Amino acid sequence: MMQIVIDIPEKVYNIIQGWDDKTLNWSEKLLKTAVPLPKGHGRLGDLDALEEEISSWGMNDYEPLDFIDAIDDAPTIIEADNEVEK
């Protein structure tokens, strides 16, 4: 199984959601089962990799700012969506 992120117009997504499952081809079925990212989400990254990095430090001489720096430096997989739906 693989997960991917694609951008499609919201109007197209909403139209596909209204289609009858019996008439869909395989690609339309994939789009119908898609889960949209919520508007206003923060940047998405590999938190397991971040946890592994921080765990490798030990906890002796690190300051809270070291953790904030590690979070800021962690690779971003998907940029934040600053648009907030009201």
Give the model confidence (pLDDT) of 34-66 as tens digits. Answer: 888 888 888 888 888 888 888 888 777 777 778
Domain boundaries, the chain: 1-36, 42-86
Between helices 64-73 and 47-55, what is the axis angle to 10°?
140
At 11, the pLDDT band (50, 70, 90 cuts) reads very high
Using the 8-state DSSP alphabet, how is residue 72 labeled? H
Dihedrals phi, psi of 80, to nearest 5 degrees? -65, 150
pLDDT of residue 9: 92
